Amino acid sequence: MLSDRMRDAINDQINAELYSAYLYLSMAGYCEAINLPGFASWMKNQAKEEVGHGMKLFQYLTDRGARVVLKAIAQPPGEFASPTAIFQQTLEHEQEVTARIHKLYAMSVEENDYATQNELQWFVKEQVEEEKTAATILEQLKRVGDQGTALVIVDRYLAERGE
């Protein structure tokens, strides 16, 4: 049986995943406004992925017979300094999400909740990928800067992720 403490923590994580989607949609809107459709496409896909993460946790609670309780989602920032700043914020945000997942996992170990440990293993692995991707793009942007032909090439590369 899932403890009330674990249920509440997973409900909080659902909220955090949905906030992540809002954040990436806000970033997509900014990228559209500065005519970087590839960046915008990448961010929209990232938002869809975050909603999927939230739904995975939603279903897990449901499968465990626990009640999902949704909370208000905080408003994300709407203005960003540059494409590089966006990916710096993306990396930092993913690192925060990783820390949250690790705390959840530690709680599941503390409670001997093997089913939740098993479920969270997927998220632990996913966060390694999320951080690696954000760090790689950030490093590329640091090399090419926020203007010029190279930025257009990065924009086209990010568009390849598709919608």
Show the domain range for 154: 4-159
CATH code, 17: 1.20.1260.10
Count of Cβ atoms closer than 10 Å to residue 135 Cβ = 16
Per the prediction, the chain carries an average pLDDT of 96
112 pLDDT more than 70: yes
Cα separation of 15 and 137, whole Å? 26
pLDDT beyond 70 at 163: no
Give the pLDDT confidence of 119-148 residue by residue, as tens digits. 999 999 999 999 999 999 999 999 999 988
Q: How would you class 29 by CB atoms within 10 Å of its CB: exposed for 0-12, middle for 13-18, buried for 19 or more?
A: middle
Residues 60-104: tens digit of each pLDDT: 999 999 999 999 999 999 999 999 999 999 999 999 999 999 999
**Domains contained in the chain, number:** 1
> Do residues 141 and 157 lie in contact, with contact meaning Cβ atoms separated by under 8 Å?
no
Q: Is the pTM of this model over 0.85?
A: yes
